Amino acid sequence: MIQYDPHKWLDHFFDVRGSLVREIFVRVALCVAWSAGVVAFHKHVHDVAMPSLLHTLMGVAMGMLLVFRTSSSYDRFWEGRKLWGGIVNETRNLIRSASVHLKDDPELLARLTRWTAAFPWAAMHSLRGTDGLGPQADELPAAKVKEAMDAQSTVLAVSVNITYCLREARDRGLITDFILASLEQNVQQLVDYIGGCERIRKTPMPFAYAVHLRRALVLYCFTLPFAMVETFGWTTVVDVLVLAYTFFGIEEIGVEIEGPFGHDDNDLPLEDICETIHKNLYALGGLEKLKRDALPEGL
């Protein structure tokens, strides 16, 4: 995700990265070249003008379709952000509570903290179709890490290891059954949140809607010169450029943000979120202090 200051309006006016200009350039260029050809044919070969009423009415329908498209895509984007906000909160709550109840067993608390910090990294890689447990993977038992990586769902395997840590704490008498149930509720919420993210990733916009909108866009933009050439002449080329850029850009924005868990410029900053969780949990679990204590004097 690109970070920017919304108050500095002109600072990003000419930015290309993240503005989707590259993605729609070919479509817009084809529309402009086609409109120039239509104008030249109309002026030098034969009258090809048509009434503009149809495009006026169709423009209203196109606007409604595009508004629905981008609104639906932003709903998916914002729901994804809320789900990851829930992952942030639940991981913090889990380790915050555990740091109090497990303070007499630093080793177990450290293991629980590392597995919990691995959860968002595993979730991110799962949503992107890749593998990984983040920077704390080297600090976890190698056999357990391999078992989690080889599991059908790495993120669920990580959640199971979190639960094993909690049950071990209960078996040692560090927490009661009531506290175990309370902490396990945090783990359950984490699994629910990743399930919500998977629902977004695996349920694209309905195929019929996406295809119909794109067909309508192409028909509208490529027939627009015929409706404008009689009135605007060569200015039609500029008018088509503006309209094609606007319509294709709006549609591409919907495509860009409907799947918010990828690597696109406008997707959610999952790496930053995972890194924030990692730092927060290590501070809560006392692992940052252990790292500092392990450093040689003078560093």
pLDDT at 52: 85
For 138, phi and psi rounded to 5 degrees?
A: -70, -15
Position 224 in a domain: no
**Cβ atoms of 179 and 99 closer than 8 Å:** no
pLDDT tens sequence across 230-241: 989 899 999 999
Q: Where are the alpha helices (DSSP H) in the chain?
A: 21-44, 53-101, 106-128, 142-150, 154-171, 177-202, 207-232, 235-258, 270-284, 287-294
Query: What is the residue range of 113's domain?
Result: 21-204+233-289
Tokens of 6: 């919304």
Q: Examine residue 215 and state whether it is found in any structural domain, yes or no.
A: no
User: Model's pTM, two decimal places?
Assistant: 0.87
Per the structure, the count of domains in the chain is 1
Q: Decide if 141 is inside a domain.
A: yes
Whether 220 maps to a domain, the answer reads no
pLDDT of 299 reads: 37
Residue 222 lies in a domain: no
Cα 224 off chain centre by? 35
Virtual torsion, Cα 113, 170, 145, 125, nearest 10 deg: -60
CA distance 131 to 118: 12
How is residue 240 written in tokens? 């088509």
Q: Is residue 101 part of a domain?
A: yes
Distances (CA, A) of 282 to 141, 149, 296: 17, 22, 20
pLDDT band at 157 (very low <50, low <70, confident <90, very high): very high
Residue 70: half-sphere exposure toward Cβ, Cα within 13 Å: 13
- Computed over every residue of the chain, the mean pLDDT equals 89
Q: What is the pLDDT of residue 266?
A: 87
Mean pLDDT of 214-234: 92
pLDDT at residue number 297: 44
pLDDT in tens, 262-296: 988 888 999 999 999 999 999 998 876 655 454 44
Residue 130 placed within a domain: yes
Domain membership flag for residue 243: yes
Q: What is the pLDDT of residue 172?
A: 92
